[in-house]
A and B are shown apart, each in its own frame.
Chain A
Amino acid sequence: MNAVERVEHVAGAFGPGAAALPVAVRMASEADLSGLAPEFGTKEMLRISGAIVLESGMLVALGCPVCLSNAIAAAGLLVVLTPVVAVSDAHERAEAHRVEAELEARDVTARTRDALARLRPAPAAGPGAELVVVGYGFAKTEREGACFFLAAQLRANGVEQELLLGPRRRSDDAPAPHCASRSALAAHEGALTARVVDETAEILAGLVATRLEEAP
C-alpha cells in the first residue's frame, strides 16, 4: 500500500482572536480532471497497431516474406479492435465530462462559505481571514480509482497555512480522501460527485474553523 505523506501544521499560528475573524473564500484554479482520463484510448490503439503494420511492411520490403503474416494480423486487429476501443473511449470521455459538469455546477467555494456560516458563531465585521482554493479535482490512484484532492491557502493576521486534502499528500488534520471509479462518480447524473463536493466543502470549513480556533 502506498504511504501517505502527512504535512504538519503549526497549531495556533494565527494567534489569539483569529477564531472571531470573518473568512472570505475564493477560487484561484480550474478543476484538474487528469485522474479521470481514459488510460488506453483510440489514439494509443491506432498508434500501436499502425506501428506494427508499418514495421512489418518495412520488413517485407527488406526481403522477409514471412513478416507479411504479421502485417496482415496487425491490420486485422486494427480493423476489429479500433471501433470497440473508439466506442469505449467515447463512453469514458462522456463519463469524465459528466463529472466535470457536476463539479463546476456544484461550486465548492460557495458551499464552503455556507458551511462556514453554519459551523462558526457570527464572526466580527471588518477585514479578516482569506481562504484561497489553489487546486482541486480528481487524482488517479493505484488502489482506490480516482480520489478527490483540494489544496487551499488560509491567510490571517499575516500568517499563511496550507490546507491539503488528497490521497497521497494531506495535512495532518485532514481526513481520508473520497475515492471512487469514474463510472461511479458519473452515475445518476453525477450524484456521487455532488456528494463528494458537498462533503469536501463541509470538511474544508471544519478545518478552517478548527485552525482559527486552535490555541498556540
Chain B
Amino acid sequence: MRRALLALLLLAGCTYARVDVHEPDVTPVSYQPRAGARLERSIGRLRRLALVVAPFEASPADPRWCLDPCDAAVYTRDAQVHALALLEDWRGYEVVTPPAPPALDAASLAALGRSLATDGVLVVRGRMVRLTWLDAAAWVATLTFAIPISLARVGASGEAEIYESTSGRLVWRSHARGGGDTTPDALVEALLGPLELAWPRALVER
C-alpha cells in the first residue's frame, strides 16, 4: 500500500526523500568552537565541506535517443551549482570544490578531506531515466496503454553522503527520488533540504 501511494506521488510530480544515516557524534578539524558557546549541532559541526558531485548516470546514455533534452552533463552541472548555493546560502556551510574529481571510496574521500582541510566531504550522486523514442513507439503499438509504464519508469533519483575527514566514516546520508520532470534543483533540494544548519562562523574560536 505504501509503495503504491509512493508511486502515485512520484507520478504526480512529487519528490520523495529520506535520511537513513545520521551519526550524532562527529569531529571537526578546521576549527575550535568558541569557549562558552552553547549550540545544539550534530552533522552541522562539520561546517567546512568539500563538495563532490559525481557525474549523473543517464538512461538512455546517448541523448539522441531521448524524446526531450536529456544531457546528463548539463544535469550534473546544474545540480552542482544548486547544491553549492543551497549549502552556502541556506545551510551556512563553507564549501570547497576539489580541483579534480576524486575516487569515490571512503578512504580516498577522507584523504581528500584532509588535503583540503575540510571537516567532511559531501558526495552527491544520482541517475536520470528519461523517455525514449522506444517509449513513443510502444505507445503507438499499444494504443497508449504503455504510457503508465513509461511514466513509472522515468524520473531522477540520487543520494547525498557525508564522510567525516578524520575517520573516513559515512556519517550522514539521504536518498531522494522524483518523477520524470524532476529538475536538478528539485532533486538537490530534496537531498540536502534535511541537512542541519552549520556551526556558525561567529562561534568559532579565533
Contacts and interface: CB of A to CB of B under 8 A. Distances in A.
B91 A203 contact: no
A16 to B, nearest CB: 16
Secondary structure type dominating chain B contacts: loop
A177 to B, nearest CB: 8
Contact of B34 (A144, A174, A199, A206): A206
B92 A176 contact: yes
B89 interface: yes
B150 to A, nearest CB: 30
A199 B39 contact: yes
A176 B203 contact: no
Contacts of A178: 197
A119 interface: yes
B90 A210 contact: no
Given A1-B82, A176-B89, A176-B90, A119 B201 contact: no
A210 B82 contact: no
Contacts of A67: none
A173 interface: yes
A43 B73 CA distance: 49
A6 B107 CA distance: 37
B135 to A, nearest CB: 32
Interface in A82-119: 115, 118-119
Interface of B: 34-40, 82, 85-86, 88-92, 185, 189, 197-198, 200-203, 206
